[in-house]
Structure 1
Amino acid sequence: MNAITETRPDVNTQIVEAFQFRHATKIFDPERKVSERDMETILEAGRLSPTSFGHEPFRILMIQSPEKRELFRPFSWGANGMMNGSAGQLGTASHFGILLAARAPLMTAGSEYLQAHYRGVKHLPEEVIEIFNGAYGKFQSSDHRITTDREITDWSGKQAYIVLANMMTAAALLGVDSCPIEGFDMERTTQVLGTEFGIDTEAWKPAVMFAFGYRAKDPEFPKTRRSMEETVTWF
């Protein structure tokens, strides 16, 4: 047994219960706020998430100002309550944010950004950096063939989704509700991020929105999924 299971012998049950608890919350209780400590833990789960090559091609943008949130309302149909006649996650969530994905200028093999990341964040010796540059260059050019800005940004977005998944799982373990949100106009969101938030949109692009808080009411229908036999194949 490892340290976690030794101190929490029922951790398997707790994990499954957390996933049963979690659902895509459309309307939050606007009067209930996630504590600073819980939100720090959720964000730390995101920060510590694994990413391909350890490149961390994401940023987490937290938007707490009601005025700033409203900038997205006209074109964020997945968060503005249009589907249920409410103020949506934009108007009711305790915490609302956007995960940004790094674009080609940052994540192309050999970029200045990556060299600085290897030295300043990963603290790699020069000979290891040379190995990383070669391996990642091969990964981009021939293994996965992700060389265009669209392909590289989509790859970064995949890493951002790992981050969001871990944040939502951490939240569920804390009894905090969440919702991933893709229902927004990509072009208009990118424009607002540039003009109103000072984001360099040549380097960063929105991947997915998210919301955390406490549900206003329980789900109307039970959670449904395919059976384990339909989902997992063993060889």
Structure 2
Amino acid sequence: MKLTNSHANKDLLLKAFNFRHACKEFDPERKIPDEDFDLILEAARLSPSSVGLEPWRFVIIQNQEIRERLKNVSWGAQGQAPTASHFMVVLARTMTDLKYDSDYVSHMMREVHQIPEEIVQLLIDKNYKNFAESDFKLMESDRAMFDWACKQAYIALSNMMTTAAIMGIDSCPIEGFDRDKVTQVLKEEGILDEKHFGVACFAAFGYRVREPRPKSRQNLKDIVEWVK
């Protein structure tokens, strides 16, 4: 299928971006159809990531008791956690999985992407190793590597929110929480293996109960510079 550069496609995208806002409260009576939410998740699955490592996991919390526990340690999710149709915890992988000689990196390159063995060795032993150690200095600390993984997860989150907006579904990315306390809740609930994952952010999806304020953004000329 060839995507065309039609005015209809442009109008659809602009309408979606203008529709999307950080929805603070959802209609608790309206639930996203399974097939629509499956498409939102598929947008995440098909998202790009640096080195193709897909260092993310998306946990959808539909249990209201767990949502309440997360709400209690999340000042930024007071309206969203109880009312969202779907409440998501976005996880990012840790140094354990993303070190160049880890089992996970080997699995992604060999089993998932099915890269030929001679190329795998070049990618791992030279390209990715140099990238992690020297280019981006990800090996300097566990936090540096985890923050890099979070950046990749945010790409997938952005695609999920855009996909939702195109379908008329609201969303809200959430960082307003105590990471240590959220981590403890998820560990106690058997959701998080802290050796392999950390909490990147939350995301809530559903349908708005009221119209948002008009969108305000900087002028395009203030954020874009052309070098010719």
TM norm structure 1: 0.93
Aligned counterparts, 1:90-105, within 5 A: 90-105=81-96
Residues 1:185 and 2:178 are matched in the alignment: yes
- Identity of counterpart residues, as a percentage? 45
Residue in 2 that maps onto 1:152: 145
Note the alpha carbon deviations across 1:108-138, whole angstroms, 9 max, x for none: 1111121122122111111111111020100
Could you tell me how far apart the structure 1 residues matched to 2:60 and 2:26 are?
17
Aligned counterparts, 1:212-231, within 5 A: 212-219=205-212, 221-231=213-223
SS at 1:71 equivalent: helix
Q: Which runs of 5+ in 1 are unaligned?
A: 81-87
Instruction: Work out whether residues 193 and 201 of structure 1, in 8 Å CA contact, stay in contact via their aligned partners in 2.
Output: no
Structure 1 residue 30: deviation in Å? Answer: 0.6
Residues 1:162 and 2:155 are matched in the alignment: yes
Could you tell me how far apart the structure 1 residues matched to 2:103 and 2:28 are?
43
Residue in 2 that maps onto 1:135: 127
Note the alpha carbon deviations across 1:4-55, whole angstroms, 9 max, x for none: 227x651011101100010000010111111111100000001110000000
Could you tell me how far apart the structure 2 residues matched to 1:222 and 1:113 are?
44
Residues 1:204 and 2:202 are matched in the alignment: no
Aligned counterparts, 1:2-21, within 5 A: 3-5=2-4, 10-21=8-19
Q: What is the aligned counterpart of 2:32 among 14, 31, 34?
A: 34
Q: Which runs of 4+ in 1 moved over 6 A?
A: none
SS at 1:4 equivalent: coil
SS at 2:59 equivalent: strand
Could you tell me how far apart the structure 1 residues matched to 2:214 and 2:155 are?
25
Q: What is the aligned counterpart of 2:166 among 170, 173, 178?
A: 173
Could you tell me how far apart the structure 1 residues matched to 2:57 and 2:73 are?
22
Q: Which moved more, 1:119-128 or 1:42-51?
A: 119-128
Aligned counterparts, 1:69-148, within 5 A: 69-80=67-78, 88-133=79-124, 134-147=126-139, 148=141
SS at 2:17 equivalent: helix
Aligned pair count? 225
Could you tell me how far apart the structure 2 residues matched to 1:202 and 1:185 are?
19
TM norm structure 2: 0.96
Could you tell me how far apart the structure 2 residues matched to 1:25 and 1:131 are?
45
